[in-house]
Chains A and B, each alone.
Chain A
Amino acid sequence: MNRKTIGFVLIALALLILPHLLTQVGTAWVRIANLAILFVFLSLGLNIVVGMAGLLDLGYVAFYAVGAYTWALLASPHFGLHLPFWVILPIGAMLACIAGAVLGAPTLRLRGDYLAIVTLGFGEIVRIFMNNLSAPFNITNGPKGVTRIDGMQLGDMNFMATDTLFGIPFTGPTKYYYALLLLLLLIIVVNLRLQNSRIGRAWVAIREDEVAAKAAGINTRNVKLLAFAMGASFGGIAGGMFAAMQGFVSPESFILHESIMILAMVVLGGMGNVWGVIAGALLLSFVPEFLRYTVEPVQQALFGHLLIEPEILRMLLFGIALVLTMRFRPAGLWPESRHKQEMKEAKEASA
Chain B
Amino acid sequence: MSAGPNVLLEARSVGKRFGGVQALKDVSLTIRRQEIYGLIGPNGAGKTTFFNVLTGLYQRDSGDVLFDEQALDLASPYRVAEAGIARTFQNIRLFGSMTAIENVMVGRHVRTHVGVIGAILRTGRQRAEEAAIKRRAEELLHYVGIAHRAGDLARHLSYGDQRRLEIARALATEPKLLALDEPAAGMNATETEGLRELIVGLRADGLTVLLIEHDVKLVMGLCNRVAVLDYGEKIAEDVPAVVQKDPKVIEAYLGGSVGE
Contacts and interface: CB of A to CB of B under 8 A. Distances in A.
Interface residues on B, range: 35 or more
A338 B153 contact: yes
Interface residues on A, range: 20 to 34
Interface stretch (A31-39, A80-88, A217-225, A317-325): A217-225
Nearest to B104: A216
A111 interface: no
A217 B133 CA distance: 15
B207 to A, nearest CB: 16
A86 B53 CA distance: 51
Nearest to A229: B116
A338 B130 contact: no
Interface string B65-95: 0000000000011100110001101000111
Contacts of B76: 214, 219, 221
B57 interface: yes
B95 A209 contact: yes
Contacts of A61: none
Contacts of B186: none
B129 A339 contact: no
27 contacts: A197-B114, A197-B119, A198-B114, A198-B129, A198-B133, A199-B116, A199-B119, A200-B119, A201-B105, A204-B102, A205-B109, A209-B93, A212-B94, A214-B56, A214-B57, A215-B57, A215-B77, A215-B81, A216-B86, A217-B78, A217-B86, A217-B107, A218-B109, A221-B76, A230-B116, A341-B153, A341-B156
A208 B169 CA distance: 15
B241 interface: no
B173 interface: yes
Interface of A: 190, 193-194, 197-202, 204-205, 208-209, 211-221, 226, 230, 336, 338-339, 341-342, 345
A336 B169 CA distance: 23
B126 interface: yes
A208 B97 contact: yes
Contacts of B208: none
Contact of B93 (A211, A220, A230): A211
A200 B114 CA distance: 11
B242 to A, nearest CB: 33
Contacts of B86: 215-217
Given A193-B122, A209-B96, 15 more contacts: A197-B118, A197-B126, A198-B114, A199-B116, A205-B109, A209-B95, A214-B57, A214-B76, A214-B78, A215-B81, A217-B81, A218-B109, A219-B78, A230-B116, A338-B98
